[in-house]
Amino acid sequence: MKKTLFFLFQAATLAFSVTSCKQDDPATPEIGSVVLRFDHVVGSRDLVLNDSTYTNGGGESFRVTTLNYFVSNIRLKRPDGSEFVVPQDKSYFLVKESDANSQKITLDEIPAGEYSAVSFLIGVDSLRSTMDIGRRTGALDPGGAASGMYWDWNSGYIFLKLEGTSPLAPIGANGQRSFFYHVGLFGGYKSKTLNNLRTIQVPFGSSRATVSAGPAAAVTIKGDVLKIFDGVKALRIATNPDIMVSPLSADLANNYAGMFRFDKIQAN
Amino acid sequence: MRRRQRFGLVASLVFFGLVTSCKTDSGGGDPDPGPSVEFKPTPYAWKKPANFPDPVYNFSKNTLTQEGVALGKALFYDGLLSRDGTISCAFCHQPSAAFAHTDHPVSHGIGDRIGTRNVPGIQNVAWGSAFFWDGGINDLDLLPISPIQNPVEMGDSLKNVLNKVRNNGQYRALFKAAYGTEEVTTERFLKALSQFMLTMVSGTSKYDKYARQEGGTQLTESEQRGLTLFRQNCASCHQGELFTDGSFRNNGLAMRLVNSSDYDLGRYLITLNLDDYNKFRVPSLRNVERTPPYMHDGRFQTLEQVLNHYVNGVTDSPQLDPLLKKSGSAGLPLTRQQQQDLIAFLRTLTDYEFLSDRRFQPE
């Protein structure tokens, strides 16, 4: 088996090297860009950090101070079911409500054509999570952009972080009533742990994102914070003000896996 | 690798080289010229002791150089890595204690804050596949982020520490010497620390010399009896030449009370698996004589107390390691003389050359 795989690998290497010569071919396929815009709401209201008060399905009032999450392993799907996989090294983004630029993900070098859906992971896949630190730059740099989105004591990224205040939360060391939802865990290095990676499918309905050499199509995806509390399982601030490395993190991940929905496509 | 496979690999590499060479006509140029041609760091001759297994650390992703090790050492001894400049790595990891700390049961960090666990030593980390008492870290290169960011240890953030290093004139030349340019990145910073830590190889104890039959080194009768007892009673966990199998086990330490500050679920905190309740990584016993206190919470001060635990103090629980219940009841049946012989053997693991190695001392 090993030997077969080995020869397959060689064959693949050879095939890859031969096709790489085609770059000189004048008939290079047309490429273009797609923009994914993440727009965060709380139910029917826009998400505003710190100042707006919202109410979850349990009647608990809360404010949001932080909403960050990783979007990775993006795939664009065509109506015929085929898909374009965004190259791994260009497929990691950290979306932060506090940083408007981060909510706009531009994907370049996308083959021209029509796309009818996008899928992505919330979080960082296990392969990348265990890769050499030199392969984890940009959004994934724990000493840079990923600062605060990385568990140093249990090596791994925080996939999604939702923090806020609520009169239902206990008083913390800073004198504030805060809740902390940090979800990570990619399945473990050697011993199995929870795998809280979730793949999100966002079909565009009857709309199509057209990729061409012209202006990029911008796909707006709404992310509804209420779904984090009221999704597959209702989670309440009063009973669970802190969810981090615990079995409940899987419920939280199931909830936020349902928070995204297609909104519209516009020219960027 | 079998010969046919090797031929195949060579052939495919040759093909790859031939075929990709057609790309050179593209005229795009090399976007990253990299360090200048004069950059030639001095290789560091890292040696595996003859009686040790092959290392676990992948040296091919972090080639040791004299300059890289020197940079790592400068960082290791620099309080700049902590929020208020007072706590260096060496503050807790002292060379004379095999880079552990002997003054406190548990770690003592920034602003006199007290941690929850006994400072582990740094030795033979090239053979480590899991680090910390709970094995929360599996890659040596990622380890330093944890103490730097732990609010009761160095209390800073890696991001801020990197900025401080960038703004510190002393490091420009050190980074340039190690990497060819002055650029400070997460990877360079962490791998330099790894380089220095990887040089901390303890393999010149009396036991090693005996194992390698160097200079006719002999064990005393008591040490020899201790070695035999060790192999019978201890070596299934404290295995091989590293004196650990790297596993996580519950060795029957009495649980402290729930809600007390030293209530520690160990490996469970990483895996959330109930079987891992109160399990901790089996520590190496190299230099054990010089690294009190003992256990994850530093509850024992002497090797006699440790042996007494294994004979009289093992608490039974569903998670207790079965190897500690072999006789039917919890604990190891060892006479007082046997305990003394075992301790005599454990003292042969003290590596004086390692503990006083000038290369590890601050400049």
According to DSSP, the residues that pair with A178 across neighbouring strands are A165
Dist CA B175 CA B189 (whole Å)? 9
| Contact assessment for residue B321 and residue B237, using Cβ atoms and an 8 Å cutoff | yes
Q: Do residues B142 and B239 both lie within one domain?
A: no
Classify residue B30: in a domain, yes or no: no
Write down the mean pLDDT value for chain A: 91
| Contact assessment for residue A63 and residue A52, using Cβ atoms and an 8 Å cutoff | yes
**How confident is the model over B172-179, as a mean pLDDT?**
97
Q: Which residue, B201, B222, B240, sits at the end of a domain?
A: B201
Q: Is the pLDDT of residue B37 over 50?
A: yes
Q: What is the CATH number of the domain that holds B270?
A: 1.10.760.10
Q: Do residues B149 and B224 both lie within one domain?
A: no
- Output the six-digit token pair for B159: 């991001």
* Residues of A whose CB is below 8 A from B2: 3
| Contact assessment for residue B62 and residue B187, using Cβ atoms and an 8 Å cutoff | no
Dist CA B105 CA B119 (whole Å)? 8
B189 to chain A, any CB pair closer than 8 A? The answer is yes
| Contact assessment for residue B344 and residue B222, using Cβ atoms and an 8 Å cutoff | yes
Write down the mean pLDDT value for chain B: 89
pLDDT for A28: 65
Classify residue B37: in a domain, yes or no: no
Question: Among residues A231, A210, A230, which one has the least CA distance to residue A219?
Answer: A210
Question: Among residues A222, A165, A230, which one has the least CA distance to residue A46?
Answer: A222
How much of chain A exceeds pLDDT 70, in percent?
A: 90
User: What is the least distance, in Å, from the CA of A228 to any CA of chain B?
Assistant: 22
Q: Do residues B286 and B161 both lie within one domain?
A: no
Q: Is the pLDDT of residue A11 over 90?
A: no
Q: Is the pLDDT of residue A24 over 90?
A: no
Those residues whose C-beta lies under 8 Å from the C-beta of residue B281, and which sit 6 or more positions away, are B130, B132, B133, B134, B135, B244, B246, B247, B248, B267
Q: Is the pLDDT of residue B81 over 90?
A: yes
Beta strands in chain B (DSSP E): 248-249, 280-281
pLDDT for B107: 85
**How confident is the model over B113-129, as a mean pLDDT?**
93
Dist CA A52 CA A62 (whole Å)? 8
Dist CA B193 CA A252 (whole Å)? 37
The total of structural domains in chain B comes to: 2
Q: Do residues B285 and B316 both lie within one domain?
A: yes
Residue A16: pLDDT band by 50, 70, 90 thresholds? very low
How much of chain B exceeds pLDDT 90, in percent?
A: 77
Query: What is the predicted ipTM?
Result: 0.85
Classify residue B360: in a domain, yes or no: no
Q: What is the largest CA-CA distance in chain A?
A: 66
Interface residue of A128, A133, A135, A245 to substitute, partner B, most B CBs within 10 Å: A133
Classify residue B45: in a domain, yes or no: no
More confident: B62 or B262 = B62
Is B139 close to A130, i.e. CB distance below 8 A? yes
Question: Among residues A112, A107, A157, which one has the least CA distance to residue A130?
Answer: A157
Q: Which residue, B146, B174, B201, sits at the end of a domain?
A: B201
pLDDT for B108: 86
- What Rg do the C-alpha atoms of chain B give, in angstroms? 23
pLDDT digits (tens, 9 = 90+) for A33-46: 999 999 999 999 99
Per mean pLDDT, which range of A170-179, B11-20, B87-96, B154-163 is the poorest? B11-20
Per mean pLDDT, which range of A136-140, B36-40, B58-62, B322-326 is the poorest? B36-40
| Contact assessment for residue A189 and residue B138, using Cβ atoms and an 8 Å cutoff | yes
Q: Do residues B231 and B317 both lie within one domain?
A: yes
Residue B331: pLDDT band by 50, 70, 90 thresholds? very high
According to DSSP, the residues that pair with A99 across neighbouring strands are A96
**How confident is the model over A71-80, as a mean pLDDT?**
98
pLDDT for B18: 41
Residue B223: is it exposed, middle or buried by C-beta count within 10 angstroms (0-12/13-18/19+)? buried
pLDDT for B261: 54
Question: Which amino acid appears at position B61 of this protein?
Answer: K
pLDDT for B277: 86
Instruction: Give the chain A residue whose CA is nearest to the CA of B191.
Output: A133
Residue B257: pLDDT band by 50, 70, 90 thresholds? low
| Residue range of the domain that includes B296 | 206-353
Classify residue B31: in a domain, yes or no: no
Dist CA B306 CA A126 (whole Å)? 39
Q: Do residues B121 and B218 both lie within one domain?
A: no
Task: Give how far the C-alpha of residue A245 lies from the chain's centroid of Cα atoms, to the nearest Å.
Answer: 19
Q: Do residues B143 and B214 both lie within one domain?
A: no
Those residues whose C-beta lies under 8 Å from the C-beta of residue B335, and which sit 6 or more positions away, are none
Q: Which residue, B176, B201, B226, sits at the end of a domain?
A: B201
Residue B170: pLDDT band by 50, 70, 90 thresholds? very high
Dist CA B238 CA B277 (whole Å)? 20
Residue A175: is it exposed, middle or buried by C-beta count within 10 angstroms (0-12/13-18/19+)? exposed
pLDDT for A2: 46
Q: Is the pLDDT of residue A230 over 80?
A: yes
Dist CA B363 CA B360 (whole Å)? 9
Q: Do residues B223 and B119 both lie within one domain?
A: no
The whole-model pTM stands at 0.87
Instruction: Give the chain A residue whose CA is nearest to the CA of B59.
Output: A132
**How confident is the model over B153-176, as a mean pLDDT?**
97
Question: Among residues A252, A235, A154, A16, which one has the least CA distance to residue B142?
Answer: A154
Q: Do residues B73 and B184 both lie within one domain?
A: yes
Q: Do residues B312 and B188 both lie within one domain?
A: no
Instruction: Give the chain B residue whose CA is nearest to the CA of A12.
Output: B12
Q: Is the pLDDT of residue A188 over 70?
A: yes
Classify residue B101: in a domain, yes or no: yes
User: What is the least distance, in Å, from the CA of A259 to any CA of chain B?
Assistant: 26
Q: Do residues B157 and B141 both lie within one domain?
A: yes
User: What is the least distance, in Å, from the CA of B62 to any CA of chain A?
Assistant: 10
The three-state secondary structure class of A85 is strand
Q: Do residues B145 and B219 both lie within one domain?
A: no
pLDDT digits (tens, 9 = 90+) for A105-144: 999 999 999 999 999 999 999 999 999 999 999 999 999 9
How many CB atoms are located within 10 Å of the residue A262 CB? 17
**Smallest Cβ distance to A143: which of B19, B146, B162?**
B162
| Contact assessment for residue B64 and residue B41, using Cβ atoms and an 8 Å cutoff | no
Classify residue B25: in a domain, yes or no: no
Beta strand pairing status for A217-224 and A31-42? parallel
